[in-house]
């Protein structure tokens, strides 16, 4: 039986990781820690979706788990951080508004972006 790479990378195996956080910035040290965490996410290939919400495309559950462990090892001392994982198919269904108007769906990365 011929192995189909396209099936291997279906929208149900491909994932997104969403990191949402609420970090204190009342002191200089807290503000530095929050900035350091945001910079860490950017260095890991996350994109800012909203101010304290960052997203990244993953090729599957294994990569999702790897990023989750890396985030866990770089947590600031204080604050709340939530990590959500969902499939590429679920990502396609996100409805986005800016101001009072509905925006077009964000484009998912193409197959070439995986390699």
6 occurs within a structural domain:
no
- Here the tokens at position 14 are 């491909």
- Here the tokens at position 44 are 């890991």
- Higher-confidence residue of 100 and 107: namely 100
What value does the mean pLDDT of the chain take? Answer: 86
What are 54-82's pLDDT values in tens digits? Answer: 999 999 999 999 999 999 999 999 999 99
Range of the domain at 58: 12-109
Integer Cα distance of 79 and 12 in angstroms = 32
Q: What is the pLDDT of residue 112?
A: 40
Residues in CB range of 85: below 8 A, 6 or more apart: 15, 16, 17, 18, 58, 64, 68
Q: What's the CATH number where 100 sits? A: 3.30.70.240
41 occurs within a structural domain:
yes
Q: What is the pLDDT of residue 115?
A: 40
Tally of structural domains, the chain: 1
Q: What is the pLDDT of residue 100?
A: 80
């Amino acid at each position: 039986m011929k192995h189909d790479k396209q099936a291997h990378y279906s929208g149900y195996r491909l994932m997104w990781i969403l990191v949402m956080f609420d970090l204190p910035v009342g002191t200089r040290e807290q503000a530095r820690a929050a900035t350091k965490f945001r910079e860490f996410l950017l260095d890991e290939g996350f994109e800012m979706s909203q101010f304290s919400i960052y997203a990244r495309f993953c090729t599957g559950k294994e990569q999702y788990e790897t990023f989750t462990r890396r985030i866990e090892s770089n947590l600031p001392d204080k604050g709340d951080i939530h990590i959500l994982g969902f499939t590429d198919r679920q990502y396609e269904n996100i409805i986005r508004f800016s101001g009072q108007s509905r925006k077009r769906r964000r484009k998912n990365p193409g197959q070439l972006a995986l390699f």
